Structure formats: structure tokens, C-alpha cells
Amino acid sequence: MQIRDLPYADPGVADARSGPRFLLWLGRNQLGGQLKALAWGLLHFCGVAGLPLGVGRAVQAVVDRSGSALALAGALIILCGVAITLGDTMLHRTAVTNWITAAARVQQLLARKAAELGAALTRRVAAGEVVAVSTGDVEKIGWFVEALSRFAAAAITVVLVCVGLVLYVPELGVVVAVGVPVLALAVLPLLPRATRRADVQREKAGRATELASDTVAGLRVLRGIGGEELFLGRYRQASQEVRRAAVRSARMWALISAVQVLLPGLLLITVVWYGAGLAQDGRIEVGELVTAFSAVTLLMYPLRHFEEIAMAYSFSRPSAKRAARVLALRRTTEPSGVEYGRPSGDLYDPATGVLAPSGRFTAVVCGDPDAAGLLAERLGGHPAADADGAASVLLGGVPLDELALDEARAAVLVQDKDPVLLSGTLQELLDVPSSGKVSAEDALKAAQCGDVLDALAQASVDTDGDGDGDGDGDPMRTRITERGRSLSGGQRQRLALARSLVTDPEVLVLDEPTSAVDSHTEARIAAGVKELRAGRTTVVFASSPLLLDRADRVVFVHDGDVAAVGVHRELLHGNADYRAVVTRETEEEQLDGITAIGELAVLEEIEESA
């Protein structure tokens, strides 16, 4: 896999049973890249390991006053230098490629999972945790994948050097062969504690990221209630906990590094002391002593990769665990595999009895806003996680739960009560998969976005048509900030509605699409949506009389079941529970019906003015 080939055509199905299994799965899927990095790493480390032999042979050639031997030693040193240079360059190239491709695979898997679960994702996993997984955790996972091949090459090189020393100079080679495994394994008792501290650090960092994400998302509300200092204090406390955890983790890793320096130093002193005695007794030559000394010195370089792989695994394991937890999430139901084609017809929910006839504008009234949101998602084929065993919603008699995800979403589009606007231009915002029958202009007009377009035209000098700063630019080229934070709540809501109208699905489900706009705008939006969606099935969850009066059919859901069906005015006069929800009546007002009469008068007045 090369970087130019990214993204993957298919990132695969991850083994998300645990963090280590997920890391193993990533490694298996990049076996070719790992073998390439291993080969270049062996060339690099063997070049490093060959230098002591060349230096030792050169010293011995000088002692023996042999010019030919010195020339051979020099050629060996040059050859090792070429191997080191080429191996190091290509090892870095292939290792970084492994890192980037692993990170890209994980990000593609996360993006696919987010698209699969939709709004249900943030109800099952905190939004901050998803952000942490897709940013910092991806880097940690990529680091482990990158370090794995380097560690394997270093480990093989260490074994080869130890075996070579035993064969070349047995008296010192045995000492090195016994000492090096002790160096490599000496830090093992410290790794569990270091890993636990790294886990705590990552957990606290994830909580801090989640808190920061939630604070930024709700900054406007916090300013409105004067709660910035409260949340800043909480984030300050969370960040200090992260700092303390990081310091404790760093202390343990510093101890591991100290052990990695101390023990090799002791081994080096032992080799020099013992080897000098052997050379003095004439049991080994000076060149052999230099070779053994140089080999032990250069072994410190590959041995450092033992510490790196331990750190990489300790930091990547909790990151992989979090990624696996997100990737392990599943839809509550899976497609049956039966080819139904694109269904059409009446939308019916057997669990509640809600029926939305094909081609009509149906309004649904629920006394509980949370229940309304869950029912809206059910109508879109996204049942709640705890809805196992509940009957599937039917579209034209076809169970939505049994459709493939792309087919279900193409047939039924659900806009929740808090839709998200992605950053980009307005043209990019409205450039969504659609039938092509509804233009962006018609959708913006139906959603009453005229004032929004005027505001966007004046928002940026870059879109000014003649450069005179008079705001006559193209609003479609004006950039919208992340989540539309530069817009008011009503403006965001109308742009999201326009985006939904552009898609022109077979069934459009809207959950409180006008809760943030004024009454006159709401009345015009109701008329515009009904006109634009003529002949298409539209379901609106609302309690506003202005929307309800425009509906062809109103369904009142009470305690999880359909309690009444009719038109708004009939239900307002004939159903006390419905009237209480729509008009927010108290029990005393329900007795005399004063509010209902007043509501009808207001409704007629607004209709006349609209």
C-alpha cells in the first residue's frame, strides 16, 4: 500500500473484540508494508552491527602492519556505511508509510461507523470520546504500527550480533550473549505499572477533551447564563489532573530509561575489564577486544527500540481499546439481504400505530419531546439501542430495518431537532445527494432563507461582487463556520431545512423544524414546505398550531400509542389531552376552554397577515 493509493477502497471489517486484537488486525492488514520495513531495518541495523567488525579488523591490521588487511577493513567499513545510509532512508520511508496508512485505515473505519450509526452514535458514545479517538488515539495507534517493524529488525539484529560474537570471540561473546537478554528483559517488571499510569493519563485526557468539546459547543448558552467561569474552572481542574497523571507516567518512563542506560553501562564496563585481562594474558587479540567493545557500544542503539515498542504499546493499547469500543457498536438490527428495491407507499409504525399516508403532509404531536425524537428516528429506520424485539417500521409494507443502510436512508430522511451544519460554503452545504427535482433556490425559498442569504452576502468581503464592500456578493460562496456558530439558531435551522428539502427523499421526517423561528416566519415555512413537498410523504413532529393547521392529517401520540387522529381544529375542540399539549393549558384552563378559543383567534389573525 502506497500513500498515493489512499483512501482505501475498502478499509475492511475490524476485529473490535479488544484493543490488542484490533492492533493485531491492523498489523495483519499491513503485512506487506511491515515486511518491507523489516527488510530495510535489517539492512540498516546489520550495517550498524558490521561497523565493530570493520573497526576491529582495521586495528588488528595496524598492529600486524598488514596493508591488505587494512584495505579490506576499510572496504568493509565503507560497505557498512552505504548499508546504514540506504537502510535508514528506506526504513524511515516505509515506516512512515505504515504509520500514515494505518491512521488512514482507522479514520476510514471511524467515519464509516459514524455514517452507519448517524445521530445514534453520540447517544451511545460521548462526542468528546469520538473526537479523542479520531485525533490523538489515531496517532498513538499509528505510532505502534510504525514502531513494530523497527523493533522486529532490532531484535533480530541483537540476536545475530550475539551469535556472531560467540563465534568470533567466544570468551567475550558468551559474556555479551548472557548480558544482552538481561538488558532487554530488565524493564519488564516496570512495564505493567508504566502501562497502568499511561492508561490513567489517556483516560483523564479523554475526559478533558470531552469537557472541552462540550464547553465549546455550548459556549453561546454558557455566556447567556454567565456560566463560563464555572465550566472553565471544571476544565482547569480536569487539565491539572491530566498534568499530574502525565508527570506520574513520565516518572515511570524516566526510570525505565535510566535502567536502559545504567545496565548497558555496567555491561560495557564488564566487557572492557574482562576483555583487557584476556588481551593481557594473550588469550584474545587487541582487534578482537576492540570488536567486542564496539559491538556492545553499538548494541545500545537497537536496544533502545525495545523501550520504544514498550512505550508505543502502552500508549496505543488504551487508544486501540477506545477505537475498538466505537467500532464494535452495531445497528440494533441488520439488513436481511433480501433485495426489495426502492420501497414507496404509506409509512407505518406497528409499535405506536403512527400512519403517514403516501403523498400527504402528516403532523405528529407527542407530549414528551424525548419520546418524539426517538419516534422520529424509528420512522427513519434507526430504532433505539434498547428496542430489541420491537416491530420494524414499514414503508409500503417493506420493513426498513431489513433494507441496506443506503437504501433505507435514500427512502426516508430524518432531520433531528438539532441538525449540524458542516463548515464550508453555502453551495457546498446544499451539494448533497438528491433526486435533482428540487433546486437549491426552491429549497431556500420554501425554508424562508431570504434574510439568511442577505446576511451571508454581507458576511465576507471575499464574496463582494464588485469589490466595493457594499455586500452585493454571492451568498452561495460565503463560508459558514463550524456547526454554523456564526448564525443564529433560527438561521441554522432554516438552512438545515433547506438542505433536507434539496435531497427530496421519498419520505421526509422533520423533528421540530421551526422551534427557533418567529410565528410569522413559521407560518410561511409551513406553507412553503407543504407546497414544495406536494405529492411526497412528509412527517413533521411539532406542537405549533401554525404547522399543525397546515397538515393534511394530525396524529396525537400519548403514552407511546396513537390516541387520536384527525385535523388540527377538530382535535383541538374534541380532545382535551391534545389541547393541553398544543396550547400548554393548565388543568383549570382545560375546564373552561378559554385558551383553545384564544388560540384559534390568534391562528386566524396570523393566517390573514401571512
Q: Could you give the CA distance from residue 344 to residue 96 in angstroms, rounded to a whole number?
A: 50
* Phi and psi at residue 297, to the nearest 5°: -60, -45
3-state secondary structure of 563: strand
pLDDT of amino acid 568: 92
pLDDT computed for residue 584 by the predictor: 73
> 450 pLDDT exceeds 70?
yes
Grid cell, residue 344, equals 414507496
Mean pLDDT of 339-352: 82
The vertex-527 CA angle with 526 and 528, nearest 5°, equals 95
For the chain, percent helix, then strand, then coil, each to nearest 5?
A: 70, 10, 25
Tell me the one-letter amino acid at 307. E
Residue 163: band (very low, low, confident or very high) from pLDDT cuts 50, 70, 90: confident
Q: How far is CA 398 from CA 85, 182, 261, 347, 394, in A?
A: 64, 67, 69, 9, 5
Backbone phi, psi, residue 332, to 5° = -65, -25
pLDDT of residue 222 exceeding 80: no
Mention every residue, 6+ apart, whose C-beta is less than 8 A from residue 270.
Answer: 175, 179
Instruction: Tell me what pLDDT residue 289 has.
Output: 82
DSSP, residue by residue, 356-411: E-TTSEEEEEES-HHHHHHHHHHHTT---TT-TTPPPPEETTEEGGGS-HHHHHHH
Q: How confident is the model at residue 461 (pLDDT cuts 50, 70, 90)?
A: low
% pLDDT > 90, the chain: 19
pLDDT tops 60 at residue 470: no
Count other C-beta atoms under 10 Å from residue 549's C-beta: 20
How is residue 345 annotated by DSSP? S
Q: What is the pLDDT of residues 275-329, one digit of tens each?
A: 888 888 888 888 888 888 888 887 778 878 887 888 888 778 888 888 888 888 8
When pLDDT is cut at 50, 70 and 90, the band that residue 226 belongs to is: low
**pLDDT > 60? residue 144:** yes
pLDDT band at residue 595 using 50, 70 and 90 as cut-offs: low
For residue 184, name the pLDDT band (cuts at 50, 70, 90): confident
Cα 61–Cα 64–Cα 70 angle in degrees, nearest 5: 20
Q: Please list, residue by residue across 196-205, b when 16 or more beta carbons sit within 10 angstroms of its beta carbon and e when fewer do.
A: ebbbbbbebb
Q: Are strands 394-395 and 412-415 parallel, antiparallel or unpaired?
A: unpaired
**C-alpha dist (Å) from residue 381 to 351, 410, 412:** 13, 11, 8
Residues 565-584: what's their mean pLDDT? 88
> Dihedral, CA atoms, 369, 371, 374, 380, nearest 10 degrees?
-90
Query: What's the CA gap between 262 and 276, in Å, rounded?
Result: 21
Asked if 290 and 58 touch (Cβ cutoff 8 Å), the reply is: no
Q: Is 109 exposed, middle or buried (0-12, 13-18, 19+ CB in 10 A)?
A: buried
| Per-residue burial over 474-510, b = 16 or more CB atoms within 10 Å of its CB, e = otherwise | bbbebbbeebbebbeebbbbbbbbbbbbbbbbbbbbb
Name the band, by pLDDT with cuts 50, 70 and 90, for residue 357. Answer: very high
**Of 122-126, 446-450, 599-603, which one has max mean pLDDT?**
446-450
CA–chain centroid gap for 41, Å, is: 32
Q: What digits encode the pLDDT tens for the residues 94-138?
A: 988 998 988 889 988 988 888 777 766 766 776 666 766 777 788
The CA distance from 96 to 37, in Å, is: 10
Task: Mean pLDDT check: name the lowest of 65-69, 173-177, 211-215, 359-363.
Answer: 211-215
Cα separation, 51 vs 291, whole angstroms: 9
More reliable by pLDDT, 282 or 565:
565
**Angle at the Cα of 75 (from 74 to 76), degrees rounded to 5?**
90
Question: What whole-number percentage of the chain has pLDDT above 70?
Answer: 84
Burial class (CB in 10 A: 0-12, 13-18, 19+), 31: exposed
CB 83 within 8 A of CB 67: no
- Angle among Cα 222, 225, 229 to the nearest 5 degrees reads 55
Q: Evaluate whether 260 touches 307 at the Cβ level (below 8 Å).
A: yes
Higher-pLDDT residue of 103 and 473 is 103
**Cell matching residue 193:** 505499572
Task: Give yes or no for a cis peptide into 7 (omega within 30° of 0).
Answer: yes
Residue 510 makes CB contacts below 8 A (sequence gap 6+) with: 415, 497, 500, 529, 538, 539, 540, 541, 542
